[in-house]
Structure 1
Amino acid sequence: MKKIALSLLFTAVCSGWLAGAAFAESKMSKDINELVGVRYKWAGTSTNGFDCSGFTQYLFNGFGIDLPHSSKGQAQLGEAVNKSDLRAGDLVFFNTDGKGISHVGVYVGGGYFVHSATNQGVVFTELDDAYYAKRYVTARRILSDEKYEELMTDVAE
């Protein structure tokens, strides 16, 4: 039930608070919603299990974008983005081990990001969650404006 509620929240956030009776879904929200609940697996890069960078690598590969299988490597790509300017699809990075960037997720809008958490697998988490807020390091914009528009456009069911 929680997965369904969060999926609906993500769809609504990424679709700009939909008007009308029917829910629409973008390519990005559709792909993310299909991955929510996949278990965590150290060094995992498939739907059999993901680590954090394996999840973002797999997701963006589906959009035709090649990312390295390393949160530190992914943090070197794209353009730096201020936390106040985040948009859906931006990568958000955290220092969870005290040694620099060690965790990555995808900002989905409305103050949430999706990531593969060690004890939960692929989940939505609030960016201002106490644990992650104090470990936030930076964000990077990987998607061009054109690719962003393509991925955020509603897809037919």
Structure 2
Amino acid sequence: MGISMKISKLMVLGISLLMLLAALFSPVSNKAEASVSWGQEVTEVAKRYMGVKYKAAGTTPKGFDASGFTQYVFDKSAADIKLPRTSKDQYKAGKAVKQKDIKEGDLVFFNTSGKGVSFVGISLGKDKFIAVTVSKGVSINSMKTKYWKDRYVGARRVLK
């Protein structure tokens, strides 16, 4: 083997070693994972199901009802939180949050039946939430619209 071949192999080995060290000690590689909050992680999972249709008593991507959707999303996210099955029971979970303090990943509750808490969604922050509705399936909604504003009951934080 000639000297130039040995030098080439050493250069490739040296470059590979430098790349490995850079990847191991790069502050970006470790911080990128840590920068995603639980709320962001939950809402990213929720967004994967955009367009899934409403199904009464539905708890899977074949069709969801409102609380079936939130229960499924929190269970499948890295947060791995087991929510109760119904929106009324989910309203008892976690801790209460004032409307002005709602953060991404908080549960938001509404009275759509005239009989107390009957609907739940997941806050995306900035007055937006994701939920499954009869008319639109899993979709993003605004808490500022008259319909949702008039029916808002409260919010709960189940994420740490």
| Greater fraction of residues in helix | 2
Work out whether 1:55 is the aligned partner of 2:69.
yes
C-alpha separation in 1, matches of 2:122 and 2:54: 16
* SS of match in other structure, 2:48: helix
CA RMSD of aligned residues (A): 1.2
Find the structure with the greater CA-based Rg: 2
Instruction: Give the AA of the match of 1:124.
Output: I
Q: Percent identity?
A: 44
Match of 1:92 among 108, 114, 136: 108
Query: CA offsets per residue over residues 2-27 of structure 1, 9 Å max, x none?
Result: xxxxxxxxxxxxx8xxxxxxxxxx53
Structure 2 equivalent of residue 128 of structure 1: 144
Match of 2:94 among 78, 81, 100: 78
Q: Tell me if the contact between 2:43 and 2:104 (Cα under 8 Å) persists in the aligned partners.
A: no
Q: Tell me if the contact between 2:110 and 2:151 (Cα under 8 Å) persists in the aligned partners.
A: yes
Gapped runs of 5+ residues in structure 2? 1-35
Match of 1:44 among 58, 66, 88: 58
Work out whether 1:115 is the aligned partner of 2:115.
no
Deviation at 1:33, TM superposition (A): 1.9
C-alpha separation in 1, matches of 2:43 and 2:90: 21
TM-score by length of 1: 0.74
C-alpha separation in 2, matches of 1:79 and 1:91: 10
Instruction: Give the AA of the match of 2:61.
Output: T
How many aligned residue pairs are there?
120
TM-score by length of 2: 0.72
* SS of match in other structure, 1:38: coil
Q: Tell me if the contact between 2:129 and 2:143 (Cα under 8 Å) persists in the aligned partners.
A: yes
Runs of 4+ in 1 over 2 A off after TM superposition: 26-30
Structure 2 equivalent of residue 101 of structure 1: 117
Deviation at 1:118, TM superposition (A): 1.2
Deviation at 1:60, TM superposition (A): 0.3
Deviation at 1:111, TM superposition (A): 1.3
Instruction: Give the AA of the match of 2:112.
Output: T
* SS of match in other structure, 2:123: strand
